[in-house]
Amino acid sequence: MPTVITIASGKGGVGKSSLAANFALRLQKTSGRTLLVDSDLLMANSHILLDLKPEFDLIDVLQARCTLREAIALVDGGLSVLAGRTGASVAVDKVKDPLQGVLSQLRGPKGAFDYIVVDAPAGASQDLINTLANSDRVVIVLLAQATSFVDAYALIKNCYMERGITQYSVLLNMVKTEAQAIAVFENFSSTVKAFLPVNLTYTGHVEHCPEIHACSRKCVAIVRMGGKSEQIKNFDAILSQIQRAPHNALLLDPTPRT
Ligand SMILES: Nc1ncnc2c1ncn2[C@@H]1O[C@H](COP(=O)(O)OP(=O)(O)OP(=O)(O)O)[C@@H](O)[C@H]1O
Ligand SMILES: [Mg+2]
């Protein structure tokens, strides 16, 4: 059975797609067969960051234009990618629970992967909450900004109320120092725990790094660039913290906790 790691945030633009692509490349390199799934149906970015032009994507699978296997593309180094689509018609939005069938197929007996990294869309939609309830590891990307706090809190609250999700790994992105990251995490964690019976685990930080930004602009994941050994070590350390953090039993019961 693969371990499903979903990278979410509530707020948009916090670095989910950049982190998901880099994490997936590192897992493929160091840990086992890995699939990156872009679950942002309308504004997908993963294939752009990996400079990939897939023949088929997740929408083709959902609309039965190809099989799941046909839609999975390979990038250098053996990483598999199930791309979303950029500029898809809003009609696709009406597909109910788009990722559930795909995730169950990937988890099934014929599943070919050890790890599935899901790049989630921003927001707290029901589809996203269902995807998080089907994930072994829920990773929340947080910035040292009030708007990021509020949106991450809203996502966690909805995940708990709707599906009883209690375990979250929290990763601070675009911070200045480790001390700042830990201080922001402590503040966020104590605020969330004052209102919700959930557990947040600090799993590391990524500094604000012009090279990461430049790599995204050039459509290259930073771990594919040579000579970035400190960032690579940091991504590996974060992945190992995420895998060691307490995780959710899969919560397939759709009963809301009200
Ligand atoms: N650690 C970092 N340092 C500097 N820039 C970063 C860092 N992480 C991400 N970025 C930049 O932040 C921007 C947003 O990143 P990204 O698209 O990955 O965010 P996102 O959370 O996936 O956005 P969306 O919610 O729109 O899907 C990009 O320009 C990216 O290069
Ligand atoms: Mg994104």
- The radius of gyration of the chain from alpha carbons, rounded to an integer in Å, stands at 17
Residues pairing with 119 in the sheet: 7, 38
Rounded distance between C-alpha atoms, residue 211 and residue 222, angstroms: 8
Atom of ligand 1 nearest to the CA of 122: 25
Q: What is the pTM of this model?
A: 0.93
Atom of ligand 1 nearest to the CA of 209: 3
Out of 213, 217, 220, give the residue to mutate to test ligand 1, the one with the largest number of ligand atoms within 8 Å of its CB.
213
Residue 226 has pLDDT above 70, yes or no: no
Distances (CA, A) of 200 to 3, 77, 119, 136: 19, 33, 20, 14
Winning range, highest mean pLDDT, from 20-29, 97-106, 148-157, 219-228:
148-157
What is the pairing mode between strands 80-82 and 72-74?
Answer: antiparallel
Phi (first) and psi of residue 152, to 5 degrees: -65, -40
Rounded distance between C-alpha atoms, residue 235 and residue 26, angstroms: 8
Out of 11, 17, 85, give the residue to mutate to test ligand 1, the one with the largest number of ligand atoms within 8 Å of its CB.
17
Which stretch of DSSP H or E encloses residue 233? Answer: helix 229-244
Please report the DSSP string for 78-91 in residue order.
G-EEE---BS--GG
Residue-level pLDDT at 99: 86
What is the pairing mode between strands 167-175 and 80-82?
Answer: unpaired
Rounded distance between C-alpha atoms, residue 75 and residue 50, angstroms: 8
Q: Which domains does the chain have, with CATH numbers?
A: 3-244 (3.40.50.300)
List Cβ neighbours of 147 (8 Å cut-off, separation of 6 or more): 11
The pair of structure tokens assigned to 75 is 């990038």
**DSSP single-letter state for residue 156:** H
Summarised one tens digit per residue, pLDDT across range 36-46 is 999 987 778 88
Residues pairing with 6 in the sheet: 118, 138
Chain centre distance of CA 158:
17
Atom of ligand 1 nearest to the CA of 141: 21
Rounded distance between C-alpha atoms, residue 140 and residue 132, angstroms: 11
What does the mean pLDDT of the chain come to?
88
Ligand 1 pocket, residue 13 CB under 6 Å = yes
Ligand 1 pocket, residue 45 CB under 6 Å = yes
Summarised one tens digit per residue, pLDDT across range 95-144 is 677 788 899 889 887 778 999 999 999 999 999 999 999 999 999 999 99
Ligand 1 pocket, residue 22 CB under 6 Å = no
